[in-house]
Amino acid sequence: MDFSLTKEQKDIKMAAREFAEKEFPDIAEECDEKEIFPRDVWKKACELGFVGSFISEEYGGPGLGLLEYTLIAEEFWRVDPGIGQALFSTAFGAEIIQLHGTEEQKRKYLPSIVKGEKIMGLATTEPDAGSDITSARTTAVKRGDKYVINGNKTMIGNGSIGDFLLVFCLTNPEEPKVHNRFSFFIVETNRKGYDATHMHGKMGLRAYDSADVSLSDVEVPINNLLGGVEGKGFYQAMDFFNMSRTWVGGFAVGAAQGALERSIRHIKQRQQFGQPLSHFQALRFKIAEMATYVEAARNMVYKAAWSMDNGIRDHKLVAMAKWYAAELAVRVIDEALQLHGGYGYFADYGIERFYRAIKVVEIYEGTKEIEKVIISNEILGRTKRD
């Protein structure tokens, strides 16, 4: 059993690290404080092939695997979670287009993502439909050669700065099987009836745009129905979550690694009682524990990504990796702030930005409770209620 990365994977990981270390630090604090999307850095990331790197060469992308994409995610979040999130979000949902879109849709939308010409987002969440996306009530009604969409989405990435969204809609409300009632539509944000309001006051990841989205009689042509077939939206979303949860695990690993490294530097430099903090056994043990947590999470996330790339769709493993990595990252970053003492509470050291950012990884792309439902269902079978 070989746990080592290939030379190409190591090169990709190093390139992502060097890019992030060069481009993120000078703007990270300002982007967070002022809620600024780092557009210039996004353009550079696109030019270097980091954005949407899973998009195949046929559609203008590098055609990398999920593991390579996860390595990039890890390195970006290692330096700054907010900018890392902002850059990754611009291709959020492109996996669904590549997996399930028509050939026309793939050729029309995917190259623009890779080239840095267009920003996209994924709109599934509603005020009363979060973990349970089958509670979505945004409707798409077919009228002649178009669909008319009405509804509201909330906490939508790039809702106010994006060029188009994939919108999860109820198309077949009378369908007996609930999972067959939904479809995705590609909705350009310049269409009449589309309105988005940037959501201020997020605890973390402020460089990343989140918005309330209103769709009022928004008309889209039939060709904007993803895949050209109604009733497949739920299954398309589930395919996507197996991928997104994996690289979100990479986010967690990266943030934890970055916080660990900051902690190591700090306790080596900071002196108390006439010696560096790194000489105190209690703190040395903390570092040992944190490093162990990071390594355990990394191995699980890499295994999940590798499995997906090799055709092994293990929902249980993906859920385990995402939940475990997120929970351990929260624990590691909490310890990192503790190791910084009072300094960690201020923006100068950057660790408070990691602290504010990491909690959401336990929430989005499936809460840790939902991940445990998936794991237990795979092990014990579904209950009648499920």
CB burial readout 207-238, b (16+ within 10 A) else e: bbbbbbbbbeebebeeebbbbeebebbbebbe
Continuous segment of H or E residues that includes residue 188: strand 182-188
Structure tokens at 36: 């600024």
**Cα distance between residue 82 and residue 28, in whole Å:** 7
Query: DSSP secondary structure string, 85-119?
Result: HHHHHTTTTHHHHHHHS-HHHHHHHHHHHHTTS--
In residues, how long is the chain?
Answer: 386
For residue 139, the cross-strand partners are 150, 170
| DSSP assignments along 29-84, one per residue | HHHHHHT---HHHHHHHHHTT-TTTTS-GGGTS----HHHHHHHHHHHHHH-HHHH
The tokens describing 211, both together, are 């918005």
Is 254 in contact with 78 (CB distance < 8 Å)? yes
Do 74 and 88 touch, CB atoms closer than 8 A?
no
Residue entry with tokens 């999940």: 304
Which residues have a catalytic role annotated?
365
